[in-house]
């Protein structure tokens, strides 16, 4: 249902077809572009972006649309799967004012400088003005080759595109800073991928996601300029980002670049603390996948923790080193910020100030993590003696026996609201969280009970009644998250032409905190069949 425009306030533009919108691009207007417009793979120098048009696809069809984001941007859902707007969302047509480009960036991949990367398959179409007046970039992922495609084809497969579409929107509903997704379009063309890297490439259906964000700039956009001594470009890029995306900063202050770096650090800290709250594992935290706005970006082989295991990484390429496992994410973000700081040294000219920015990351992360985890436990804060130890002991216990992170915290809220008088029944609300059908072993159960007793005593020492506590917990502990196997079921159905599974899942994930009768299946533990199935337990980068 579209809300009446008048409900959004006077002057709010009504929803309009994508073709009716005016487009602009602050990147194109303000940042130096590549004078060379040849769309051939090459090293680009002295520019922040390269003009490139999407490569047409054979038979585009709209598979999914985000009404929520469409409402925000003022873009109406295309009325039919092959509407004219879908041609634009597939890269077959442009709207006047669009100046499509691929951004130039580099990055540190798995700890090493990788040189030029850039938008190898993502093409930004331009900016549309949202109904609140804010400009948002629309970008097609999988829109064909660019000068940054290296050896790859510029395309994306349906499975990974559907996963990006679904997870961006789910993350937004969870309250995690993220880029968004407006549409998922099938290209009608096959894409060949060696999903298992075992020399057996297969043709898979191709797709394009239209992503949206205030900006898709990454740490790597700064790193590439620094790597080539492009000091003026680096400065221009920084001023652009500060002016448009960090309005809270004083642009006249002499130390504004250092202030800005600290602000990037704080936003990054808040983002990662949110990942830890909901159990999200990005999977490829290379510096080219770190948004300069502190948004979750580039959904690839990401995953959701089901049984709590801080060493888990969904990315098969990362299986040996586990660099990007759940528990490492806070450290890796700091490492990435240190690479950004390295790129900004010349601009800031004050290493101590950059060091303080990194310190702000540590402090902000710690503060946010404790704040969010206090809320997860229904406590006003984790500031009392012994509180942090209590939290640490809980995670040791969760890791000791396969325990579903999401279901545990929801169960804990029920338990704390109405603890059973009888010890043997105390664990009742937590039963659904144990992967072993028999429940916890006797020894583990005893330890857990010991922890629960201490926790209940601690909770009782806080002000507030049990019902309020539960309500507070249920607002930060989601019940419905895009579990890997749920996404896989939507992929399997969509591959067969059935989009109802995706639509239903998306509707459930739009309201992740309210328990609803009829949606139990979406809050279930990972079923046994999904334990080792590719796409459910481990994901390859081939997308």
Q: Catalytic positions, please? A: 288
* Closest alpha carbon to 241 in 176, 291, 296: 291
Site string for ligand AMP, 127-166 (x = CB under 6 A): ---------------------xx--xxxx-----------
Take residue 53 and report the two structure tokens written for it: 């048009």
Decide if residue 120 touches ligand AMP (CB under 6 A). Answer: yes
Number of residues located near ligand AMP, criterion CB under 6 A: 17
Tell me the residue ranges of DSSP E strands in 216-367. Answer: 280-281, 303-304
Residue of 34, 119, 127, 307 that binds ligand AMP (CB under 6 A): 119
Sign of CA dihedral 316, 329, 455, 522: negative
Give the residue with the Cβ less far from Mg ion, 127 or 298.
298
Using CA atoms, how far apart are residues 71 and 132, in angstroms rounded to an integer?
11
Give the residue with the Cβ less far from ligand AMP, 302 or 409.
302
**Which of Mg ion, ligand AMP, none is residue 204 near (CB under 5 to 8 Å by kind)?**
none
Cβ neighbours of residue 215 closer than 8 Å, sequence gap 6 or more:
27, 137, 241, 244, 245, 291, 292, 293
Q: Which residue has the tokens 């970039």?
A: 137
Decide if residue 203 touches ligand AMP (CB under 6 A). Answer: no
CB of 298 to Mg ion, least distance (A): 4
| Cβ proximity of 276 and 305 under 8 Å | no
Decide if residue 482 touches ligand AMP (CB under 6 A). Answer: no
Give the residue with the Cβ less far from ligand AMP, 108 or 373.
108
CB of 146 to Mg ion, least distance (A): 13
Decide if residue 187 touches ligand AMP (CB under 6 A). Answer: no
Using CA atoms, how far apart are residues 422 and 445, in angstroms rounded to an integer?
14
Binding positions for Mg ion, 314-333, rule CB under 5 A: none
CB of 278 to Mg ion, least distance (A): 21
Residue nearest to Mg ion (CB): 298
Question: Which region among 4-12, 90-98, 284-292, 343-351 touches Mg ion (by CB under 5 A)?
Answer: 284-292
Sign of CA dihedral 319, 320, 326, 330: negative
CB of 288 to Mg ion, least distance (A): 5
Half-sphere exposure of 62 (CA within 13 A, CB side): 20
Residue of 259, 298, 318, 360 that binds Mg ion (CB under 5 A): 298
Number of residues located near Mg ion, criterion CB under 5 A: 2
CB of 137 to Mg ion, least distance (A): 15
| Exposure string over 441-458, b if 16+ CB within 10 A, otherwise e | eeebbebbeebbeebeeb
Take residue 465 and report the two structure tokens written for it: 């009644």
* Closest alpha carbon to 203 in 193, 212, 211: 193
**Which of ligand AMP, Mg ion, none is residue 73 near (CB under 5 to 8 Å by kind)?**
none
- Angle in degrees, CA 302, 305, 308, rounded to 5: 150
Decide if residue 121 touches ligand AMP (CB under 6 A). Answer: yes
Question: Which region among 209-217, 235-243, 244-252, 288-296 touches Mg ion (by CB under 5 A)?
Answer: 288-296
Which conformational region is residue 44 in: left (phi greater than 0), alpha (psi within -120 to 50 degrees), or beta?
beta
Exposed/middle/buried for 352, CB within 10 Å: 0-12, 13-18, 19+?
Answer: exposed
Binding positions for ligand AMP, 260-319, rule CB under 6 A: 284, 288-289, 298, 300
CB of 480 to Mg ion, least distance (A): 27
353: phi then psi, degrees, rounded to nearest 5? -65, -40
Question: Which region among 200-208, 294-302, 359-367, 450-458 touches Mg ion (by CB under 5 A)?
Answer: 294-302
Other CB atoms closer than 10 Å to residue 17's CB: what's the count? 16
Take residue 93 and report the two structure tokens written for it: 């047509």
CB of 106 to Mg ion, least distance (A): 12
Binding positions for ligand AMP, 373-432, rule CB under 6 A: none
**Which of ligand AMP, Mg ion, none is residue 153 near (CB under 5 to 8 Å by kind)?**
ligand AMP
**Which of ligand AMP, Mg ion, none is residue 117 near (CB under 5 to 8 Å by kind)?**
ligand AMP
Decide if residue 289 touches Mg ion (CB under 5 A). Answer: yes
Q: Are strands 122-129 and 135-141 parallel, antiparallel or unpaired?
A: antiparallel
Using CA atoms, how far apart are residues 53 and 304, in angstroms rounded to an integer?
35
Decide if residue 118 touches ligand AMP (CB under 6 A). Answer: yes
Interacting residue ranges for ligand AMP, rule: CB under 6 A? 117-121, 148-149, 152-155, 284, 288-289, 298, 300, 541
Interacting residue ranges for Mg ion, rule: CB under 5 A? 289, 298
């Amino acid at each position: 249902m579209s809300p009446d425009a008048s409900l959004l306030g006077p002057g709010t533009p009504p929803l309009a077809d994508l073709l009716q919108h005016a487009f602009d691009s602050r990147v194109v207007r303000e940042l130096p572009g590549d004078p060379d417009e040849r769309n051939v793979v090459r090293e680009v120098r002295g520019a922040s972006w390269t003009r490139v048009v999407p490569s047409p696809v054979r038979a585009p069809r709209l598979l999914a649309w985000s009404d929520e984001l469409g409402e925000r941007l003022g873009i109406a859902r295309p009325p039919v799967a092959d509407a004219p707007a879908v041609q634009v969302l597939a890269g077959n047509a442009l709207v006047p004012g669009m100046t499509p480009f691929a951004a130039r960036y580099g990055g540190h991949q798995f700890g090493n400088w990788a040189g030029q990367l850039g938008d190898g398959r993502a093409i930004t179409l331009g900016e549309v003005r949202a109904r609140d007046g804010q400009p948002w970039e629309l970008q097609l992922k999988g829109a064909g080759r660019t000068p940054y495609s290296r050896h790859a084809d510029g395309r994306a497969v349906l499975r990974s595109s559907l996963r990006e579409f679904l997870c961006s929107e789910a993350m937004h509903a969870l309250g995690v800073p993220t880029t968004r997704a407006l549409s998922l379009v099938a290209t009608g063309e096959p894409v060949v991928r060696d999903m298992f890297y075992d020399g057996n490439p297969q043709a898979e259906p191709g797709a394009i996601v239209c992503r949206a964000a205030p900006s898709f700039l990454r740490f790597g956009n700064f790193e590439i300029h620094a790597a080539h001594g492009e000091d003026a470009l680096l400065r221009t890029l920084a001023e652009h980002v500060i002016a448009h995306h960090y309005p809270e900063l004083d642009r006249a202050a002499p130390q504004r670049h250092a202030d800005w770096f600290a602000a990037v650090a704080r936003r990054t800290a808040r983002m990662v603390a949110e990942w830890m709250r909901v159990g999200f594992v990005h999977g490829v935290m290379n510096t080219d996948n770190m948004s300069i706005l502190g948004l979750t970006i580039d959904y690839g082989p990401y995953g959701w923790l089901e049984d709590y295991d801080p060493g888990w990484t969904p990315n098969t390429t990362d299986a040996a080193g586990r660099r990007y496992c759940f528990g490492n994410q806070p450290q890796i973000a700091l490492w990435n910020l240190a690479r950004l700081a390295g790129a900004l040294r010349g601009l800031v000219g004050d290493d101590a100030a950059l060091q303080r920015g990194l310190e702000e990351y540590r402090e902000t992360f710690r503060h946010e993590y404790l704040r969010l985890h206090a809320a997860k436990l229904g406590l006003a804060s984790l500031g009392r003696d012994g509180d942090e130890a209590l939290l640490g002991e809980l995670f040791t216990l969760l890791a000791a026996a396969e325990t579903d992170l999401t279901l545990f915290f929801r169960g804990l809220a029920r338990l704390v609201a109405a603890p059973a008088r009888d010890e043997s029944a105390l664990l009742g609300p937590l039963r659904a969280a144990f992967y072993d059908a028999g429940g916890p072993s006797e020894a583990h159960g005893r330890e857990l009970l010991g922890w629960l007793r201490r926790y209940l005593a601690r909770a009782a020492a806080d002000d507030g009644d049990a019902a309020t506590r539960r309500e507070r917990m249920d607002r930060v502990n989601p019940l419905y998250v895009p579990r890997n196997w749920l996404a896989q079921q939507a992929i399997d159905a969509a591959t067969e032409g059935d989009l109802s599974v995706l639509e239903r899942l998306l509707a459930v994930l739009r309201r992740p905190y309210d328990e609803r009768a009829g949606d139990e299946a979406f809050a279930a533990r990972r079923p046994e069949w999904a334990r080792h199935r590719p796409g459910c337990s481990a994901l390859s980068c081939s997308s």
